[in-house]
């Protein structure tokens, strides 16, 4: 299991994931930035003209499961660092070559009440990025566990958002 670490040293909490992926950084970078690759693991389509600092992003959820979101690229240093806003959250991907593969450190800076929900969802997404599949419902058990784990520090945790 690749459980996240809860980081509470900054103004807003972060959930941090550390994964060793078998592919080199250039391949992982494509998985983070190319639409066809993102479709295999990211929870929505990311539309942008180019990946550069200041570029606008549009997040379109598949099958209308949620409303579109907007974002902005904050840092883009291929193939090492990618950071962007995802509505009110900040997602950061740090890639380091290691053991013939890539050490991926991913953080999601977010509102305290959604940490457990997002942590559970990201576990499922990052498993897909690694090439592993987990049942779509598996996030429910993770959400329950992370809710219990995070609540003493962050307060009550919100469940999944209502669909539009």
Q: What is the full DSSP assignment across 102-163? A: EEEEEEEE--GGGHHHHHHHHHHHHHHHTT----TTHHHHHHHHHHHHHHHHH-S---PPPP
The total number of structural domains in the chain stands at 1
Q: What digits encode the pLDDT tens for the residues 91-146?
A: 999 999 999 999 999 999 999 999 999 999 999 999 999 988 776 668 889 999 99
User: Would you say residue 112 lies in a domain?
Assistant: yes
User: Would you say residue 159 lies in a domain?
Assistant: no
- Which tokens belong to 76? 């883009």
User: Would you say residue 62 lies in a domain?
Assistant: yes
User: From CA 49, how far away is CA 64, in angstroms rounded?
Assistant: 22
User: Would you say residue 21 lies in a domain?
Assistant: yes
User: Would you say residue 161 lies in a domain?
Assistant: no
User: Would you say residue 48 lies in a domain?
Assistant: yes
In this structure, what CATH number is given to the domain that contains residue 114? 3.30.530.20
Cβ(110)–Cβ(13) below 8 Å: yes
Going by pLDDT thresholds of 50, 70 and 90, the confidence category of residue 4 is very high
Containing domain of residue 15, as a range?
Answer: 5-154
User: Would you say residue 144 lies in a domain?
Assistant: yes
């Amino acid at each position: 299991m690749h459980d996240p670490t809860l980081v509470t040293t900054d103004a807003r909490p972060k959930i941090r994931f550390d994964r060793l992926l078998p592919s080199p950084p250039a391949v992982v970078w494509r998985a983070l930035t190319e639409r066809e690759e993102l479709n295999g693991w990211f929870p929505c389509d990311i539309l942008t003209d180019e990946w550069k600092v200041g570029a606008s992003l549009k997040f379109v959820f598949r099958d209308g499961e949620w409303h579109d979101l907007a974002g902005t690229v904050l840092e883009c240093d291929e193939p090492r660092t990618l950071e962007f806003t995802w509505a009110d959250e900040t997602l950061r991907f740090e890639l380091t070559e290691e053991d013939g593969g890539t050490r991926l450190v991913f953080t999601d800076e977010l509102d305290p009440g959604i940490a457990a929900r997002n942590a559970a969802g990201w576990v499922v997404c990052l498993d897909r990025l690694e090439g592993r599949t987990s049942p779509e419902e598996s996030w429910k058990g993770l959400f329950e566990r992370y809710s219990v784990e995070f609540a003493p520090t962050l307060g009550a945790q919100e469940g999944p958002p209502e669909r539009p």
